[in-house]
Amino acid sequence: MRSRTTLSVTLLMSATVLLAAALNPLNVKTGLWQVTMTTTIDELPVPHATTYNACLKPEDLSNYPFTDPKAHCTWNVVTSTSSQMQANGTCTPSGMGTVQFKMNLVAVDPGTVKATGQITADSPAGALHGSYTGAAKWVGATCPAGMR
């Protein structure tokens, strides 16, 4: 029985290492990016657009690279190639409940990324569901001082 358990744990760990090794970073430029995301909540009549800047470093390209610094998010990259990334995120923006994202990124070219996905939010009014679209454009190779 012990051998079976050890073998199962070893196989599980090997599969995890292989999956992690299969994730490739997006082939996009590092530096300052401007991100615009438009969210449409099924229960609300008007879409909401947000624009923010993100600073990408080489080590960010294997993670979800365009998180809003004010949204307090954690991300899990599910799949990633040089041109596409799928990630799941959990955010806790100030004044709101928990927001869950399923994000799909497509690197159109090294300076342009498009995003689509689904959103679920826990709000004081109950669960909200919707979708979003986004676009990220490379602005320049350097980020303002103090920007993460």
The reported pLDDT for the residue numbered 10 is 41
Distance (Å, whole) CA 82 – CA 3: 40
The reported pLDDT for the residue numbered 125 is 75
Predicted confidence (pLDDT) per residue in 57-91, tens digit: 998 888 999 988 888 899 999 999 999 999 999 99
The reported pLDDT for the residue numbered 123 is 77
The reported pLDDT for the residue numbered 9 is 40
Domains annotated on the chain, with CATH: 25-140 (2.40.128)
* Region for 69 from its dihedrals, namely left if φ exceeds 0, alpha if ψ lies in -120 to 50, beta otherwise: alpha
The reported pLDDT for the residue numbered 11 is 37
Q: How many CB atoms lie within 10 A of CB 135?
A: 15
* Region for 31 from its dihedrals, namely left if φ exceeds 0, alpha if ψ lies in -120 to 50, beta otherwise: left
The reported pLDDT for the residue numbered 52 is 93
Which residue, among 74, 91, 85, 82, has the nearest Cα to 39 in the 3D structure?
91
Residues whose CB falls within 8 Å of the CB of residue 77, separated by 6 or more in sequence, listed in order: 23, 62, 63, 64, 85, 86, 87
pLDDT per residue of the chain (148 residues) written in tens, 0 to 9: 554 444 344 434 444 444 444 789 999 999 999 999 999 999 888 999 999 999 999 988 889 999 888 888 999 999 999 999 999 999 988 777 889 999 999 999 999 999 999 999 887 778 889 999 999 999 999 999 888 6
The reported pLDDT for the residue numbered 15 is 41
The reported pLDDT for the residue numbered 68 is 84
Calculate the dihedral angle through the C-alpha atoms of 145, 104, 119, 140, rounding to the nearest 10 degrees: 20
